[in-house]
Chain A
């Protein structure tokens, strides 16, 4: 049965960008109408994406599938195959949720080349959704790469002072990783084809026959794919592009970068590396978990000393994404559920943090912590919302962050397949404490105390639009904190399937297949 919901979903932003393109020709339409066109198309995308969790059934198989041949020549067997399972469901919704907010958050701050800005964001949205729904490796790679172009322009055209350096670094890092993945995809295509006589790029098919790939080949291919994903995550020591890109990107770019793009790396690990190369995953899990823990602590320590708000949030991302990677390589159901939940949390909270930083940047054109202080008295609403998001980021109970990090820690601590799991869990918990330190210290310096800088006295509190941007986020932060089962129940089946395949040795699996 074919369902066209996903195809419609990725077409709406493209249609929106075409509309913006046509409306913006010459100077017929005023900027306002372009903004509304883009916003409405992204809201419609969000509305359509809500059909997904509503119609979703808790089973591990793909849903809302479309599967049609695309390139058949030379036995390529490339298909337009899209679908979602519990792993990708919420990531799609996260994407469509954040894009309208990103557009709203830069409503007035972008005036230069508005039309091209809006087109970039909308094309980016299509690319991001595409990555999460592609079920053919060729198609996946396509979305993965095409997405780079609008992001490159977002940083390069509308970014800060060192935007060119940041944009080029971002692309080169990503491209190096993704081209190695391309070699991996080609290799996997042949290995799978030689083993099964079926030449295909179809992800579920390859996953079903994963046991027939030899351990040596797995080890190579694992890294071919993992490098692309780890750079994107970014896992320490591949993280150096991230602070540059975050700091230089405009607010909307940072929100999307932190909120969605980083998740593609961890999504890729769960979609490809674990199910297709289970033996290699087990073999390299201690290394990756160790890097994740180093990232958690290193990110937190570096964040602590940042004078720039955006840089601080950027390094906190390195730390938070370390939790996600740790959770994934714990191979336990809790750990992976926690990792997935933490991906959503980070998207919401860090996206919100970037919006919040963007709001004072719009007012003061600086992001230096030392420039602020005492904002609580001049911007009370802002400070209150800022507090909630800060607490969510440091994983206070009843907030979304708590659920994710707790699950990751429990999952890691109880993991039987990950060596030194307890040590990793303890060290990661230390990272949680550090995150409370740097976030609260930052909040204190920005919001509490006297207003020392006279320029801050006259700052206006949030206007209606800005409240409208933060309100859904704050609501979601609390909702996700108290009612996680809404999310976890839908992702459960898919996660359980991955976790189960990880706990069985490969030999047993392939024997079952051959019987």
Chain B
């Protein structure tokens, strides 16, 4: 391969370059200016995120492939990139004062966050299974460390170890799946003879030029297990409650939103964009329609299990972080409905609304928990409603939005995935999801009951809300209403996004 075949295009990876640069800069700053480092590191992180966001916007409207088919620039990538940047920005805002109060090293923390973000950005930009894997690993390694960031706390250690072991395990599944798919794509007459490139894979599967159908199916199934782990969907969800509960709250917020959204971006790229029959291929009976119906059926089962297990388990939780972990599992289930329907736009909007409200909820949990993550049990929330009216009202709003209250972001997201699932003919799935949503009201309301309807527990004093965290809360509350009341603009952006499948294979 000659160098010009690589199609090196630095503009195409500018967002990732900026976040990497910011991460490196933060580490340097940390070494050189120890004392002022915390604030400076945070500011550098925010600056990097904003610049990266600018770079994403500068790429808008492009539809191209660069780096020898490794990197793709399209609306799916860019929309998800913005979601990740929003997640990290909010995480940074809710971390600044927490890092100070815990007296933890700030430089490494923000640098790791930026590296994790870089990995997530690559996952959305990947046009090659190897790239998906690389992005996933960059994110995972950074988050393994972040989970155990409160070194002296056993729960944090447990969280990190569990996440590391199960995360590696699931990555192995993904990698094995990739290897099998690579093998299945073997075609001696073509160049290259076997491939991990998604576009080429698509063409070969659609044309029926695969070495072994069984190998392809097994590979796809393995990859589904791998992604299933990463998005915390049942039956691969077992790790998430322990990890979420033990990790520092700001990292739980990051994991339950950012990593999940990134996994969904790659999931959608591989399954909706690659393993899906278009109008052309679906006319001929072949491997692609069989593959598509197989993964769709499996995902339907996964979606039902995920939302049902998540919701039922959330009901009995006495710890708010753990309850939100199960709620997050349930939401992965609703998101999977969008995957089942093959509608990445619904998935993207759902995740956008979900990340905003979920980080908002965790922000409040973090403030209430105080130093050392002490007060996270449900009983610690007794009667705080009227003592800290602002915080409690914000948390109530986020919880109701997670439950799907109209006029908030959560409702519009749910409405869209329900609608696409219905349109795709999965009527029973929608009914199950609807009943699940009704169940979920119970545990979300439970927190509100405890906060507002019970007597205050002794010794509760309203915690001080630091300015960056207040900013994060304000942003999330406004976004919750913006996406709930006037979502038209964001929806229009998604609607106008070109579909690569249709564009490439008319």
Q: How far is the CA of A183 from the CA of B445 in the complex (A)?
A: 22
Whose C-beta in chain B lies nearest to the C-beta of A180?
B434
Q: B165 to chain A: which residues have CB within 8 Å?
A: none
Whose C-beta in chain A lies nearest to the C-beta of B385?
A157
Contact B441 A172 (CB under 8 A): yes
Contact A72 B435 (CB under 8 A): no
Does A176 sit within 8 A of B, measured CB to CB?
yes
Does A482 sit within 8 A of B, measured CB to CB?
no
Does B418 sit within 8 A of A, measured CB to CB?
yes
Contact B491 A74 (CB under 8 A): yes
User: Which B432-467 residues have C-beta < 8 A from chain A?
Assistant: 434-435, 437-438, 441-442, 445-446, 448-449, 452-454
Taking the closest CB of chain A, its distance from the CB of B482, in whole angstroms, is: 13
Q: A142 to chain B: which residues have CB within 8 Å?
A: 406-407, 411
Q: How far is the CA of A137 from the CA of B342 in the complex (A)?
A: 26
Contact B452 A179 (CB under 8 A): no
Contact A164 B453 (CB under 8 A): yes
User: Which B241-262 residues have C-beta < 8 A from chain A?
Assistant: none
The answer to whether A167 and B449 touch (CB under 8 A), given A149-B400, A182-B418, A190-B422, is yes
Contact A149 B430 (CB under 8 A): no
The answer to whether A153 and B449 touch (CB under 8 A), given A72-B492, A146-B407, is no
User: Which A169-197 residues have C-beta < 8 A from chain B?
Assistant: 171-172, 175-176, 179-180, 182-183, 186-187, 189-190
Q: Which of A156, A175, A186 makes the CB contact (< 8 A) with B441?
A: A175
Q: A183 to chain B: which residues have CB within 8 Å?
A: 418, 422, 430-431, 434
User: Which B46-105 residues have C-beta < 8 A from chain A?
Assistant: none
Contact B405 A176 (CB under 8 A): no
Does B427 sit within 8 A of A, measured CB to CB?
yes
Interface string of B466-490 (1 = CB under 8 A from A): 0000000000000000000001100
Contact A186 B386 (CB under 8 A): no
Interface string of A29-73 (1 = CB under 8 A from B): 000000000000000000000000000000000000000001111
Does A361 sit within 8 A of B, measured CB to CB?
no
Contact B431 A72 (CB under 8 A): no
Q: Which of B345, B435, B446 makes the CB contact (< 8 A) with A176?
A: B435
Q: B411 to chain A: which residues have CB within 8 Å?
A: 142, 145
Contact A70 B488 (CB under 8 A): yes
Q: How far is the CA of A136 from the CA of B434 in the complex (A)?
A: 21
Contact B406 A156 (CB under 8 A): no
Taking the closest CB of chain A, its distance from the CB of B341, in whole angstroms, is: 12
Contact A73 B453 (CB under 8 A): no
Contact A186 B452 (CB under 8 A): no
Q: A76 to chain B: which residues have CB within 8 Å?
A: 491
Q: B203 to chain A: which residues have CB within 8 Å?
A: none
Does B161 sit within 8 A of A, measured CB to CB?
no
Contact B427 A171 (CB under 8 A): no
* Dominant SS among interface residues on chain A: helix
**Most B-side CB within 10 Å, residue of A74, A142, A167:** A74
Q: A152 to chain B: which residues have CB within 8 Å?
A: 445, 448
Contact B438 A149 (CB under 8 A): no
Does B297 sit within 8 A of A, measured CB to CB?
no
Contact B418 A186 (CB under 8 A): yes
User: Which A159-173 residues have C-beta < 8 A from chain B?
Assistant: 163-164, 167-168, 171-172
The answer to whether A175 and B438 touch (CB under 8 A), given A73-B491, A73-B494, is yes
Taking the closest CB of chain A, its distance from the CB of B166, in whole angstroms, is: 33
Whose C-beta in chain A lies nearest to the C-beta of B437?
A179
Does A238 sit within 8 A of B, measured CB to CB?
no
Whose C-beta in chain B lies nearest to the C-beta of A183?
B434
Whose C-beta in chain A lies nearest to the C-beta of B438?
A176
Q: How far is the CA of A142 from the CA of B404 in the complex (A)?
A: 11
Does A365 sit within 8 A of B, measured CB to CB?
no
Does A141 sit within 8 A of B, measured CB to CB?
yes
User: Which B182-206 residues have C-beta < 8 A from chain A?
Assistant: none
Interface string of B485-506 (1 = CB under 8 A from A): 0011001101100000000000
Q: B418 to chain A: which residues have CB within 8 Å?
A: 182-183, 186
Q: B407 to chain A: which residues have CB within 8 Å?
A: 142, 146
Q: How far is the CA of A190 from the CA of B427 in the complex (A)?
A: 12
Interface string of B99-125 (1 = CB under 8 A from A): 000000000000000000000000000
Contact A164 B386 (CB under 8 A): no
Does B370 sit within 8 A of A, measured CB to CB?
no
Contact B492 A187 (CB under 8 A): no
Does B283 sit within 8 A of A, measured CB to CB?
no
Contact B386 A113 (CB under 8 A): yes
Q: How far is the CA of A146 from the CA of B422 in the complex (A)?
A: 24
Q: B423 to chain A: which residues have CB within 8 Å?
A: 190
Interface string of A135-159 (1 = CB under 8 A from B): 0000001100110010011001100
Q: How far is the CA of A186 from the CA of B337 in the complex (A)?
A: 15
Contact B405 A186 (CB under 8 A): no
Q: How far is the CA of A187 from the CA of B418 in the complex (A)?
A: 10
Q: How far is the CA of A163 from the CA of B296 in the complex (A)?
A: 45
**Most B-side CB within 10 Å, residue of A141, A142, A176, A179:** A179
The 5 closest A-B CB pairs, nearest first, are: A73-B491, A142-B406, A176-B438, A179-B434, A156-B453
- Starting from the known contacts A142-B407, A189-B419, 15 additional A-B residue pairs (CB-CB under 8 Å) come to A70-B488, A71-B487, A72-B488, A73-B494, A74-B416, A145-B405, A157-B452, A157-B453, A168-B445, A172-B442, A182-B415, A182-B434, A183-B418, A183-B430, A186-B422
Q: Which residues of A contact B (CB under 8 A)?
A: 70-74, 76, 113, 116, 141-142, 145-146, 149, 152-153, 156-157, 163-164, 167-168, 171-172, 175-176, 179-180, 182-183, 186-187, 189-190
Q: Which residues of B contact A (CB under 8 A)?
A: 345, 386, 400, 404-407, 411, 415-416, 418-419, 422-423, 427, 430-431, 434-435, 437-438, 441-442, 445-446, 448-449, 452-454, 487-488, 491-492, 494-495
